[in-house]
C-alpha cells in the first residue's frame, strides 16, 4: 500500500498519473510532485519488501528536480523486477476537492500502463472528494492512496 499528500500552490503545473491537468494550482514538491504516481511507487516498493521512495530518490538530489514521476516509476519497476516480482494489478484513488478528474482517468491509466508494461485493465484510477473536510477538502492539498498485487516471476 502507498500513501502520499502534496500541498497545492500557485505557479506549479498539476501532474496526476503523468497527465498535465489544466488547473490554476499545481502540487509543490522536488519532482513534478505527481502524488498519484508517488503513492503507486511506494505501494510497489513495499509489496516487494523494498524501502520507501525517499530512500531511492532523495528529495534534495538535483537529479530529481522537476523530473517526471513517470521516469521514477520506470526505475521502481526495475527495482521490483530485480527482486523477482511483476505487477499483477494496482488500485489507486486520488482525494481532491477540485479539479474534476474523471475526464483524465483513462489517459492516466494509459501513461502508467505504458511504463509498467501492463494492460490498462490491470489498473484502476478513482477520484473522490473529501466532502470539504481537512486539507484535501478545503483545497490546500491533494492526496492519493494505492494498493498493488505483485506476483513472483516464474524462473526463466
Ligand atoms: Mg510525494
Q: Is omega for the bond preceding 33 within 30 degrees of 0, making it cis?
A: no
Q: Give me the CATH code for the 2-152 domain, please.
A: 3.30.1330.50
Q: Give the model confidence (pLDDT) of 6-38 as tens digits.
A: 999 999 999 999 999 999 999 999 999 999 999
10 CA to centre of ligand 1 in angstroms: 18
Task: Express as a percent the part of the chain with pLDDT over 90.
Answer: 95
In the chain the beta strands, taken as DSSP E runs, fall at 2-10, 14-16, 19-21, 25-27, 85-95, 123-128, 141-152
In contact, 21 and 103? CB cutoff 8 Å: no
- What share of the chain has pLDDT > 70, as a percent? 99
User: Cell numbers of 34, please?
Assistant: 505527481
pLDDT in tens, 72-83: 999 999 999 999
Distance 44 CA to ligand 1 centre (A): 14
Q: From the CA of 125, how far away is ligand 1's center (Å)? A: 17
Q: Taking the domains of the chain in order of start, what are their residue ranges?
A: 2-152
pTM: 0.96
Average pLDDT, the chain: 96
Distance from residue 141's CA to the centre of ligand 1 (Å): 12
Q: What pLDDT score was predicted for residue 155?
A: 65
Is residue 113 within 8 Å of 50, Cβ to Cβ? no
The larger pLDDT score, comparing residue 154 to residue 16, is at 16
Amino acid at each position: 500500500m502507498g500513501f502520499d499528500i502534496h500541498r497545492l500552490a500557485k505557479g506549479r503545473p498539476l501532474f496526476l498519473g503523468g497527465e498535465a491537468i489544466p488547473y490554476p494550482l499545481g502540487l509543490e514538491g522536488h519532482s513534478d510532485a505527481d502524488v498519484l504516481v508517488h503513492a503507486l511507487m511506494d505501494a510497489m516498493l513495499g509489496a516487494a519488501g523494498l524501502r520507501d521512495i525517499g530512500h531511492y530518490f532523495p528529495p534534495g538530489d538535483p537529479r530529481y528536480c522537476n523530473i517526471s514521476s513517470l521516469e521514477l516509476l520506470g526505475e521502481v519497476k526495475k527495482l521490483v523486477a530485480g527482486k523477482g516480482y511483476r505487477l499483477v494489478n494496482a488500485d489507486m484513488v486520488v482525494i481532491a476537492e477540485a479539479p474534476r478528474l474523471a475526464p483524465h482517468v483513462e489517459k492516466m491509466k494509459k501513461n502508467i500502463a505504458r511504463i509498467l508494461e501492463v494492460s490498462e485493465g490491470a489498473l484502476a484510477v478513482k477520484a473522490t472528494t473529501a466532502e470539504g473536510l481537512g486539507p484535501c477538502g478545503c483545497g490546500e492539498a491533494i492526496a492519493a492512496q494505492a494498493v498493488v498485487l505483485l506476483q513472483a516471476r516464474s524462473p526463466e
